[in-house]
């Protein structure tokens, strides 16, 4: 009798339960990068519950899931990673999940650029000169590609909503087309000889490639390095040699170092750019990040 009752309980759970792929319960999507969380929201709409694992301001190059994040990951249906080698813990995570949660490497099929062999400062030991540059989100075209990739990934788990995902992705792509037209017009206001980006974080190769700018590698503009006098001396030499009009150091770089850089070279010290898509509000969306970066670049370099 007991066995029968248990059997019936199991059967009624089966009948009353939500059938996967038929709507109802939202698809739980965990994102290991804030811009992937944005794509999940934009493309998935009401069909997804998004778990944005990385808090604003976190360093994408050194972040790793903590035990509390792993619990969130285990209750999700799909993980969206920026990929292209950014999340160095991904192979280990894949092994530990042993196929229980699917991981989508969003950046995998997006065309790669390599970190310049002249790069003098790299984000972390895994991204050395010559290796694949993981900052693919610094290209508007790449974010358009990514929106379509995310639509396909969500459709795999929710085939009944595939058309909706594709149409939401198309809307997002249209918005990015407008953003790109605007960015192109703005960035063209900078005379060709001044289209040089000297940034604290070597994250703008995809951006520069898209808009015909040149990245000039320096050290000494970040919080950690600004204490190293030899880095600063090399940076001063590079700025003089390449006739760079402005630099974009990291927030928190020492005021004394900034003053000596400006005094030695006459270079304009511009506000920081958002490199990794992890800024606090209101710069916490792709569109806001890009607008901020474009406006900051044009204001510093145009004349
Ligand atoms: Zn890195
Ligand atoms: Zn970065």
- How confident is the model over 29-36, as a mean pLDDT? 97
pLDDT digits (tens, 9 = 90+) for 215-228: 998 877 777 665 67
**123 alpha carbon to ligand 2 midpoint, in Å?**
6
Whether 27 is covered by a domain: the verdict is no
pLDDT of 19 reads 46
Q: Which domain holds residue 228?
A: 190-301
Q: Where are the beta strands (DSSP E) in the chain?
A: 27-31, 48-52, 78-81, 102-105, 196-197, 214-215, 246-247, 268-269
Give domain status of residue 99, yes or no: no
Question: Domains in the chain: how many in total?
Answer: 1
| pLDDT score for 20 | 47
187 pLDDT band, cuts 50/70/90, is: very high
Summarize the confidence of residues 154-164 as an average pLDDT. Answer: 97
**Ligand number, closest to the Cα atom of 250:** 2
Distance (Å) from CA 128 to ligand 1 centroid: 8
Asked if residue 237 lies in contact with residue 216, where contact means CB atoms within 8 angstroms, the answer is: no
d(CA 161, CA 163): 6
- 289 within some domain: yes
Q: Which residues surround ligand 2, an ion (CB under 5 A)?
A: 123, 203, 276
Q: Given a cut of 70, is residue 13 above it in pLDDT? A: no
262, part of any domain: yes
* Dihedral in degrees, nearest 10, Cα atoms 138, 139, 143, 145: -140
How big is the chain, counted in residues? 303
Is 90 within a domain? no
CATH number of the CATH domain containing 249 = 3.40.50.1980
Supply the pLDDT for residue 227: 61
Cα(20) to centroid of ligand 2, in Å?
37
């Amino acid at each position: 009798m007991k066995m029968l009752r248990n059997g019936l309980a199991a059967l009624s759970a089966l009948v009353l339960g939500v059938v996967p792929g038929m709507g109802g319960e939202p698809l739980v999507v965990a994102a290991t990068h804030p811009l992937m969380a944005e794509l999940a929201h934009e493309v998935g709409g009401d069909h997804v519950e998004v778990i944005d694992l990385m808090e604003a301001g976190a360093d994408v190059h050194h972040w790793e899931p903590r035990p509390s994040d792993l619990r969130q990951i285990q209750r999700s249906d799909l993980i969206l990673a920026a990929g292209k080698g950014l999340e160095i813990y991904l192979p280990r995570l894949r092994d530990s999940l042993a196929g229980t949660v699917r991981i989508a490497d969003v950046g995998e099929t997006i065309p790669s650029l390599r970190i310049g062999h002249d790069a003098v400062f790299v984000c972390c030991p895994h991204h050395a000169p010559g290796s694949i540059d993981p900052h693919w989100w610094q290209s508007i075209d790449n974010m358009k590609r990514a929106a379509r990739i995310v639509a396909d990934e969500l459709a795999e788990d929710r085939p009944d909503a595939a058309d909706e995902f594709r149409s939401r992705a198309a809307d997002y792509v249209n918005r990015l087309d407008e953003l790109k037209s605007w960015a192109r017009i703005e960035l063209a206001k900078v005379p060709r000889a001044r289209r040089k980006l000297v940034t604290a974080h070597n994250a703008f190769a995809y951006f520069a490639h898209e808009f015909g700018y040149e990245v000039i590698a320096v050290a000494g503009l970040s919080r950690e390095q600004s204490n190293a006098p030899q880095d600063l001396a090399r940076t001063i030499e590079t700025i003089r040699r390449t006739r760079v009009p402005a630099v974009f150091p990291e927030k928190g770089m020492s005021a004394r170092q900034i003053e000596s850089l400006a005094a030695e070279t006459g270079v304009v010290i511009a506000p920081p750019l958002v490199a990794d898509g992890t800024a606090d509000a209101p710069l916490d969306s792709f569109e806001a990040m890009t607008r901020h970066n474009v406006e900051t670049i044009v204001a510093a370099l145009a004349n």
